[in-house]
Amino acid sequence: MQETTQPGAGGSPPAGEPALPEKIGKYEVRGLLGRGSSGLVYKAYDPFVRREVAIKTTRGLAGRDTDVEAAEQAFFTEARAAGLLSHPHIVSLYDAGVENGMHYLVMEYVDGQTLVPWCQRHGPRLPLDRIVDVVFKCARALHYSHSRGVLHRDVKPSNIMLTRDRVPKLMDFSVAEVAETRDGRRPRTAVGSPLYMSPEQVQRLPLTPASDLYSLGVVMYQLLTGETPYTGSDLVQLFAAIRNQPPPRLEDKRPDVPRDLCAVTARLLAKRAQDRYPSGQALADELLRIFDRLQLADANLARRENRDSLRSLRFFDGFSDEQIDEILNAGQLLSYAPGAEIVREGEIENTFYLIARGAAEVRKGGVTIDTLHKGDCFGEIGFLTSARRTATVVAKDPLLALRVSAGLLDRVSLDCQLRFYKVFTQTLIYRLSLTNARFSALKST
| Cα–Cα distance measured from residue 153 to residue 190, given in angstroms and rounded to the nearest whole number | 10
Phi and psi, residue 206, nearest 5°: -55, 140
User: Edge-to-edge, what's the strand order for the sheet holding 102-108?
Assistant: 23-24, 27-36, 39-46, 51-57, 102-108, 93-99
Please identify every residue annotated as catalytic: 154
Q: Output the CA angle 158-73-1, nearest 5 degrees.
A: 30
What does the pLDDT read at residue 5?
A: 38
What would the pLDDT profile of 412-426 be if each residue is shown by its tens digit? 888 888 888 888 888
Rg (the chain; Cα; Å): 31
- Asked whether residue 15 is assigned to any structural domain, the reply reads no
List, in sequence order, every residue forming a beta bridge with 331; answer none if it has no partner.
404
Phi and psi, residue 272, nearest 5°: -90, 130
Strand positions, DSSP E, 109-238: 112-114, 150-151, 160-163, 168-170, 177-178
Can you list the alpha helix ranges (DSSP code H) found in 226-258? 235-244, 250-253
pLDDT at 375 over 70: yes
Reduced to 3 states, what is the DSSP secondary structure of residue 219? helix
Residue 52: CATH number of its domain: 3.30.200.20
Can you list the alpha helix ranges (DSSP code H) found in 9-87? 68-83
As to burial, measured by CB atoms within 10 angstroms (0-12 exposed, 13-18 middle, 19+ buried), residue 355 is buried
| Residues 424, 353 share a domain | yes
List, in sequence order, every residue forming a beta bridge with 323; answer none if it has no partner.
none
| Residues 79, 172 share a domain | no
Residue 171: CATH number of its domain: 1.10.510.10
- Of 79, 108, 137, which marks where a domain is finished? 108
Reduced to 3 states, what is the DSSP secondary structure of residue 150? strand
Give residue 280's domain range.
112-293
Per the prediction, the chain carries an average pLDDT of 84
What would the pLDDT profile of 153-208 be if each residue is shown by its tens digit? 999 999 999 998 889 999 988 888 887 655 555 455 567 789 999 999 999 999 99
Q: Is the pLDDT higher at 364 or at 15?
A: 364
| Residue 64 pLDDT class (50, 70, 90 cuts) | low
| Residues 188, 280 share a domain | yes
Domain count, the chain: 3
- Of 108, 125, 146, which marks where a domain is finished? 108
- CA 32, distance to chain mean position in Å, is 27
97 closest CA partner among 77, 81, 82, 75: 75
CA distances from 204 to 16, 184, 191, 401, 431 (A): 37, 12, 8, 62, 80
Q: Is the pLDDT higher at 210 or at 65?
A: 210
| Residues 123, 80 share a domain | no
| Residues 86, 146 share a domain | no
- Of 82, 108, 134, which marks where a domain is finished? 108
| Residues 401, 339 share a domain | yes
160 closest CA partner among 134, 136, 131, 140: 134
- Asked whether residue 306 is assigned to any structural domain, the reply reads no
Start-to-end CA distance of the chain, whole Å, equals: 78
| Residues 282, 220 share a domain | yes
| Residues 66, 183 share a domain | no
Residue 376: CATH number of its domain: 2.60.120.10
Contact yes or no for 261/290 (Cβ under 8 A): yes
- Asked whether residue 201 is assigned to any structural domain, the reply reads yes
- Across residues 120-141, what is the average pLDDT? 92
| Residues 104, 133 share a domain | no
Half-sphere exposure of residue 212: CA atoms within 13 angstroms, side-chain side: 31
| Residues 97, 35 share a domain | yes
What does the pLDDT read at residue 51?
A: 92
- Asked whether residue 405 is assigned to any structural domain, the reply reads yes
| Residues 117, 94 share a domain | no
Residue 116: other Cβ atoms inside 10 A: 18
| Cα–Cα distance measured from residue 109 to residue 328, given in angstroms and rounded to the nearest whole number | 45
Contact yes or no for 74/66 (Cβ under 8 A): no
CA distances from 374 to 312, 358, 378, 438 (A): 10, 6, 12, 21
pLDDT at 17 over 80: no
Task: Say what percent of the chain tops pLDDT 90.
Answer: 39
| Residues 86, 116 share a domain | no
What does the pLDDT read at residue 62?
A: 56
Sign, Cα dihedral of 92, 96, 100, 103: positive
pTM for this entry: 0.67
- Asked whether residue 395 is assigned to any structural domain, the reply reads yes
| Cα–Cα distance measured from residue 102 to residue 287, given in angstroms and rounded to the nearest whole number | 43
Q: Is the pLDDT higher at 328 or at 116?
A: 116
What would the pLDDT profile of 338-352 be if each residue is shown by its tens digit? 888 988 888 887 888
- Asked whether residue 299 is assigned to any structural domain, the reply reads no
- Phi/psi-derived region of residue 264, left when phi > 0, alpha when psi is between -120 and 50, beta in every other case: alpha
- Asked whether residue 308 is assigned to any structural domain, the reply reads no
CA distances from 362 to 394, 403, 428 (A): 7, 17, 17
- Asked whether residue 244 is assigned to any structural domain, the reply reads yes
